[in-house]
């Protein structure tokens, strides 16, 4: 009987007399796998950092204020019966600060009544007059109709998380103060007009003709110098805070920044997903104190 020799097992070179393969460095495959894993971890960390920074730079979504039904208003929001005679009336629309309502202008009420033409194309006389008799005077009810007065755009701005404190101009700066005397009430009352650089936004005018504008991110009351920078600094767009009657005001030239109070000082600060103390950014537009 032929004796069968045991098969050589490659994994046991020293036991079966084989010499190990020295042409390849031991552990090369493991080194490649470890290097690939390390590169993958580094790439994942860099990607996460970039995504986080981009999310921090994006502004928080600002919802638009719903348009109220005719005859109803939201507390603190602006409503106007007719446009201002000076052309400074705030814009209409879903801005969070005003709502449009259909009105009839004063010029329409005073417009002359033109008689309708007859079938032949000539205007028929409204009243038949006998020869030699004076014409009858027009009805006093139509000629003495008083024109409608433009609605006032004066408003005061109250803090949401500090009720009883209002925007107040003091030494050229805007602070959040309590109401004091008559002079304090005048300095806490502003004329809300169309934005100087964007007619769909707003500007705030003081009783002495100055405008509220941000400079060095601090809200101030200054004279309009007519420059493009001043108009942008003095224009703010209304945003809906999510609560009825509360609004936030974002800057035109700094869209990711909004007005807020800090240590009772009005300033411009970033507003985003990671913003804390959000109530500091919300205000109510109420009836004028003065």
How confident is the prediction for the chain on average, in pLDDT?
A: 72
Predicted local confidence at residue 99, as pLDDT: 42
User: CA-CA distance, 182 to 37, in Å (whole number)?
Assistant: 73
Does residue 214 lie within any of the structural domains?
Answer: yes
For the segment 220-240, the average pLDDT, to the nearest whole number, is 94
The DSSP bridge partners found for residue 284 are 158
> Is the Cβ–Cβ distance between 65 and 95 less than 8 Å?
yes
Does residue 21 lie within any of the structural domains?
Answer: no
Predicted local confidence at residue 271, as pLDDT: 87
For the chain, percent of residues with pLDDT exceeding 70? 56
Provide the number of structural domains found in the chain. Answer: 1
The contacts of residue 96 (CB under 8 Å, 6+ apart) are: 64, 65, 77, 238, 239, 240, 241, 247, 248
Does residue 108 lie within any of the structural domains?
Answer: no
Q: How far is CA 114 from CA 70, 117, 125, 134, 245, in A?
A: 32, 9, 10, 20, 46
At residue 189 the predicted structure's pLDDT band, cuts being 50, 70 and 90, is: very high
Full domain range(s) for residue 231: 78-83+148-286
Does residue 190 lie within any of the structural domains?
Answer: yes
- Domain harbouring 185, CATH code: 2.80.10.50
Handedness of CA 42, 43, 44, 49 (dihedral sign): positive
Does residue 239 lie within any of the structural domains?
Answer: yes
Does residue 120 lie within any of the structural domains?
Answer: no
The string of pLDDT tens digits covering residues 116-137 is 444 444 444 444 444 455 445 4
For the chain, percent of residues with pLDDT exceeding 90? 37
Predicted local confidence at residue 53, as pLDDT: 74
Does residue 73 lie within any of the structural domains?
Answer: no
Does residue 115 lie within any of the structural domains?
Answer: no
At residue 51 the predicted structure's pLDDT band, cuts being 50, 70 and 90, is: confident
The string of pLDDT tens digits covering residues 145-164 is 555 544 568 999 999 999 99
């Amino acid at each position: 009987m032929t004796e069968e020799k045991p098969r050589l097992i490659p994994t046991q070179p020293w036991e079966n007399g084989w010499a190990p393969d020295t042409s390849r460095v031991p552990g090369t495959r493991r080194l490649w796998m470890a290097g690939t894993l390390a590169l993958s971890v580094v790439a994942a960390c860099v990607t996460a950092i970039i995504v986080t920074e981009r999310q921090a730079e994006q502004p928080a979504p600002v919802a638009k204020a719903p348009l109220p039904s005719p005859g109803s208003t939201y507390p603190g929001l602006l409503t106007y019966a007719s446009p201002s005679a000076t052309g400074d009336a705030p814009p209409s629309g879903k801005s969070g600060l005003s709502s449009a309502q259909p009105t009839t202008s004063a010029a329409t009420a005073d417009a002359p009544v033109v008689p309708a033409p007859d079938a032949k194309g000539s205007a028929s006389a409204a009243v038949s007059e006998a020869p030699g008799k004076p014409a009858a005077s027009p009805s006093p009810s139509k000629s003495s109709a008083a024109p409608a007065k433009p609605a006032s755009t004066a408003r005061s701005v109250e803090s949401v998380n500090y009720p009883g404190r209002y925007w107040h101009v003091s030494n050229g700066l805007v602070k959040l103060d309590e109401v004091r005397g008559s002079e304090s009430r005048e300095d806490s009352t502003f004329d809300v007009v169309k934005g100087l650089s964007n007619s769909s936004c707003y500007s705030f005018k003081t009783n002495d003709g100055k405008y509220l504008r941000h400079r060095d991110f601090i809200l101030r009351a200054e004279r309009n110098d007519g420059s493009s920078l001043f108009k942008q600094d003095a224009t703010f767009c209304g945003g809906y805070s999510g609560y009825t009657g509360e609004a936030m005001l974002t800057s035109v030239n700094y869209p990711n920044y909004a007005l807020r109070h800090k240590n009772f000082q009005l300033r411009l600060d970033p507003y985003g997903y990671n913003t804390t103390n959000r109530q500091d950014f919300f205000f109510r537009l109420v009836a004028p104190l003065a």
